[in-house]
Chain A
Amino acid sequence: MILLRTLGLMLVFLVASLLPSNAAEADLRAIVAKFATGTGFAATEAVVRELAATGDPLVERPLGALAEGNLYIREADSAVFVGNEAGDSVTLLDPLSGEKAGDAAKADITKIKVNNTLRRVIRDALGTLTLRAKDPAVRIAAADTMFKTPDAANIEPLDAAIAAETDAKVKALFEQARAASVLVSDKPEADKLAAIALIGARGDRDALSLLTSVEANAQGAVKDAATAAIANINSTLALWDAGQNIWYGISLGSVLLLAAIGLAITFGVMGVINMAHGEMVMLGAYTTFVVQQVIRTSFPGLFDWSLVIALPLAFLVAASVGLIIERGVIRFLYGRPLETLLATWGVSLVLQQAVRSIFGPTNQEVGNPSWMSGSFDVGQLAVTWNRLWILVFALTVFGLLLYVMKRTPWGLQMRAVTANRRMAASMGIRTPWVDALTFALGSGIAGIAGVALSQIDNVSPNLGRGYIIDSFMVVVFGGVGNLWGTLVGAFSLGIVNKVLEPYAGAVLGKIVVLVLIILFIQKRPRGLFALKGRAVEA
């Protein structure tokens, strides 16, 4: 079978090489075939350079595949193919035309190895070749690559591309890439000064990086211009840095808020020291994992919706576990904080070990849906999508919870029981049920926090451990029993932490925050927003 296929392929090659119109393609084929003869990264790199030197747009396919690690050699006949993995077999495609050329078992083909240096060489080579690509995103990527790896030889193709470019944004990027190349060429000083002005106006870290190396190698007016441009960029970046710290703080604050908001109910409103709170978060994260597993095996098309589907399920799972804990353990321990603390600590150990026995001790992979991956730029500030969504989500959950507490009959009963249990009972409120449902609500909210946190943290049995201390800190700092306090507490702790971090380091930063909180609690034992009322004193 393989022999036949080989013969057939050889025939195809023969015919292809005989046709005069395909002479250039045949040359390319001869070069591509060299991938099979050389060994080691240096040999592969030589072939890549040779391919790139042809300047033929056809080489984009094999080079792109090589960079992705999808270029294979068939062991039987040393033919080179682009391969698409599908289970144990690989679909082989012709490296130049992309036509299907049969299948092969993984054992019969060898992957051509690439390392970072090779990937870089390929990316640079593809940069010049993709300047005229149809997709503007590809052209932008090409401009970006050429900006980062300036080369005097790039000026000519860039000039042609600038003349042909219609998209103003891409054109500007091309001009910056051209300026970068001018700086390393032997063009006259005036051109270089203009180039520095252009790059200086770009003002981002890549520009800074480029100008720093120019400054180190240049003399005279060019050097002075570079120094001035660097100083200019640095002063703008310093401002952006401050903005960035605030944004990071807000983002950390939203994570703290999510982790603490359930606790603000169970500890803040009900006064239960719930050490198993973190485990509710963990259960939510594991629910997300299970949902994604089911989606992966049965409905792969729904993957981007996995988090939305997981939210109500995580709420239900955590809320029912919370309900069981309240009915089974905590209701016997109201008014005995130390016993509650120990019992819930025990429950947390049981839950952790249960998850460890069922799912194993290792991390589980929870994927990011496409709308939660990557980042976008606001000026010089890179905002990652997952952090932004978590912030939106945290505020939404907070808003909903506030609505439930302040505007629904159930919320009214909850607040009545908190304010004065005996009076509430006398008015006909079934306090045990309110307690149970309130605890379930707090646990359920911890569960949906777990869905969000699974996107940025490990999904392992230890997930909850990391958040319990921070959650208590936020609730105590914000003022026990006050939801707004939790909000303000979470964001102020987040921002203080992140503003301190670049100067003090993560370890010292955390210590400083802890010391500040201790001092603050000394001054105001009831936190930022103290709840007033007779029941509180009791």
Chain B
Amino acid sequence: MRGNFSTITKMFSAGVVAAGLIVSAPARAAEDTIKVGILHSLSGTMAISETTLKDAMLMLIEEQNAKGGLLGKKLEAVVVDPASNWPLFAEKARELISKDKVSAVFGCWTSVSRKSVLPVFSELDNILFYPVQYEGEESERNVFYTGAAPNQQAIPAVDYLMSEDGGSVKRWVLEGTDYVYPRTTNKILEAYLKAKGVAAEDIMVNYTPFGFSDWQTEVSAIKKFGSAGKKTAVVSTVNGDANVPFYKELGNQGIKAEDIPVMAFSVGEEELAGLDTAPLVGHLAAWNYFESVDTPENKKFIANWHKFIKNDKRTTNDPMEAHYIGFNMWVKAVEKAGTTDPDKVIDAMVGVSVPNLTGGYSTMMPNHHITKPVLIGEIQADGQFETVSQTPGLVMGDEWSDYLPDSKDLISDWRAPLSCGNFNVATGRCGGKGTN
């Protein structure tokens, strides 16, 4: 076996690339359609989350076509499978734009996949709608961020825990998966907590690898940290599959939400579907949308989704709402611009306002982020979230965090004449740098 490892890795990656190529089958169609690219992993680790988004996009496109299409033409979805392989995301994006000539792309989940496609989108001047909550510290002309920035999720969640309703938490465990989103979010949160007067010894930060499954040591460390006579809470940026064993271990070791609540940023209805939620009742999540939100728009959306996917047990979640908002914004901007030319659509996007599913309107801001309400929900025994707190108004996405020294002077405004994603107000020049 010795010495064969590099060959083996090479063969692995060859296999992955091959698998990706086999699955993707771009459709060829007549000239009079508008093509929309869908860039979500349908195989590999991220398929669990991204497949749902692909289906949601297909549903939205079908609905739009039933309404008569766009600019008198039918919409046509072009689905590719980047197979959870980050470099393949860039290749597939290039294929969508150059070969299939799509007018806009909806896609990506992880930050690293987004970073991998950024150069492609700015080089070929196309549009990406990114639907997932992320760490901020970025604003690109070709990308519209319909998920939450840290101030639309993390900061209000921590505020809630500090409030009397949330239990007046004094001691904090920041538990995350070891990659860019948790690291940056925790950096922002740590700075924020310290600004609020939390002492350094009352904050514990811990990271675990992707797909981590043996949480015994971590959970008992949380228990230990929580027994210092102060109200303790866990803020979890644990990603994807690692959540299920994490919550199972919490339940088994008897950590109740009343004693040490866990506030999660990456756990939605979809993740809870694979879990017996009875021991988790009361643990929290912060999102901009819950399936349980009681509005006519949401009821209609859920009914359509169940009809489309032919399974009334399938849940809806926050990133699906983000695609719903993003897609409707794009449709509106194309109608406003009268063309699908990405350059014109990008300029028409700013200021577009569409209804969201929580009973209000979301507007695209000049920094290419949108306005959203922030909801805090508690896990219920039926796997749904019960909203226990909601921000009074809409929160505007803040791409450059005010709590990080490197980015506090930066703003983004893509309208002419500024047209800059990282304008430094202290030096008055475009081209500041963030933390990553």
Q: A387-B216, A505-B207, A507-B208 are in contact. Are A458 and B164 (CB under 8 A)?
A: no
Q: A116-B257, A365-B274, A373-B252 are in contact. Are A244 and B220 (CB under 8 A)?
A: yes
Q: How far is the CB of B298 from chain A (nearest CB, A)?
A: 16
Q: How far is the CB of B49 from chain A (nearest CB, A)?
A: 8
- Asked if B200 is an interface residue, CB under 8 A from chain A, the answer is no
Contact A113 B273 (CB under 8 A): no
Contact A352 B211 (CB under 8 A): no
Cβ 8 A contact of B1, one of A353, A361, A476:
A476
Residues of B within 8 A of A245 (CB): 217
Q: How far is the CB of A277 from chain B (nearest CB, A)?
A: 15
Segment at the A interface, from B88-96, B136-144, B337-345, B380-388: B380-388
Residues of A within 8 A of B178 (CB): 507
Residues of A within 8 A of B212 (CB): 506
Cβ 8 A contact of A362, one of B48, B166, B217, B254:
B48
Residues of A within 8 A of B44 (CB): 462
Segment at the A interface, from B4-12, B58-66, B328-336, B347-355: B4-12
Q: A69-B380, A364-B274, A365-B273 are in contact. Are A458 and B245 (CB under 8 A)?
A: yes
Give complex CA distance A387, B43 in Å. 31
- Asked if B253 is an interface residue, CB under 8 A from chain A, the answer is yes
Give complex CA distance A367, B224 in Å. 28
- Asked if A6 is an interface residue, CB under 8 A from chain B, the answer is no
Residues of B within 8 A of A74 (CB): none
- Asked if A510 is an interface residue, CB under 8 A from chain B, the answer is yes
Segment 250-298 of B: residues with Cβ below 8 Å from A? 251-254, 257-259, 261, 270-271, 273-276, 279, 281-282, 284
On chain A, the number of residues with a Cβ less than 8 Å from chain B's Cβ atoms is: 69
Cβ 8 A contact of B253, one of A349, A352, A353, A384:
A384
Residues of B within 8 A of A244 (CB): 220
Contact A349 B258 (CB under 8 A): no
- Nearest to A467 among chain B residues (CB) is B213
Contact B165 A349 (CB under 8 A): no
- Asked if A502 is an interface residue, CB under 8 A from chain B, the answer is yes
Contact A457 B245 (CB under 8 A): yes
Q: A345-B12, A349-B19, A362-B48 are in contact. Are A507 and B209 (CB under 8 A)?
A: yes
Give complex CA distance A120, B166 in Å. 11
Residues of B within 8 A of A387 (CB): 216, 252
Q: A209-B229, A365-B275, A458-B274 are in contact. Are A251 and B216 (CB under 8 A)?
A: yes
* Binary B-proximity of A513-525 (CB < 8 A = 1, otherwise 0): 0000000010001
Q: How far is the CB of A440 from chain B (nearest CB, A)?
A: 24
- Nearest to B386 among chain A residues (CB) is A113
Segment 426-481 of A: residues with Cβ below 8 Å from B? 456-462, 465-466, 476
Segment 372-397 of A: residues with Cβ below 8 Å from B? 373-375, 382, 384-387
Contact A363 B11 (CB under 8 A): no
Contact A209 B258 (CB under 8 A): no
Contact A216 B229 (CB under 8 A): yes
- Asked if A37 is an interface residue, CB under 8 A from chain B, the answer is no
Residues of A within 8 A of B223 (CB): 205
- Asked if A492 is an interface residue, CB under 8 A from chain B, the answer is no
* Binary A-proximity of B21-60 (CB < 8 A = 1, otherwise 0): 0000000000000000000001111011001100000000
- Asked if A213 is an interface residue, CB under 8 A from chain B, the answer is yes
Contact B241 A116 (CB under 8 A): no
Contact A352 B43 (CB under 8 A): yes
Q: A457-B213, A466-B211 are in contact. Are A382 and B254 (CB under 8 A)?
A: yes
Chain B residues close to A by CB (< 8 Å): 1-2, 4, 7-8, 11-12, 15, 19, 42-45, 47-48, 51-52, 164-167, 178, 206-209, 211-214, 216-218, 220-221, 223-224, 226-230, 241, 244-245, 248-249, 251-254, 257-259, 261, 270-271, 273-276, 279, 281-282, 284, 378, 380-381, 386, 388
Q: What are 10 A-B contacts defined by CB distance under 8 Å?
A: A113-B388, A148-B259, A205-B224, A248-B214, A345-B15, A362-B52, A362-B274, A365-B275, A458-B274, A507-B178
- Using A345-B12, A363-B48, A382-B253 as known contacts, list a sample of 17 further A-B pairs with CB atoms less than 8 Å apart, ordered by residue number in A: A41-B165, A116-B257, A119-B282, A209-B227, A213-B229, A248-B214, A345-B15, A349-B19, A365-B276, A368-B276, A375-B254, A384-B253, A387-B252, A460-B48, A462-B45, A502-B221, A506-B212
Nearest first, the 9 closest Cβ-Cβ pairs linking A and B are: A363-B274, A213-B229, A212-B229, A205-B227, A209-B227, A384-B252, A506-B208, A361-B51, A248-B216
Chain A residues close to B by CB (< 8 Å): 41, 69, 113, 115-117, 119-120, 123, 148, 205-206, 208-213, 216, 244-245, 248, 251-252, 255, 338, 341-342, 345-346, 349, 352-353, 356, 360-365, 367-368, 373-375, 382, 384-387, 456-462, 465-466, 476, 498, 501-502, 505-507, 510, 521, 525
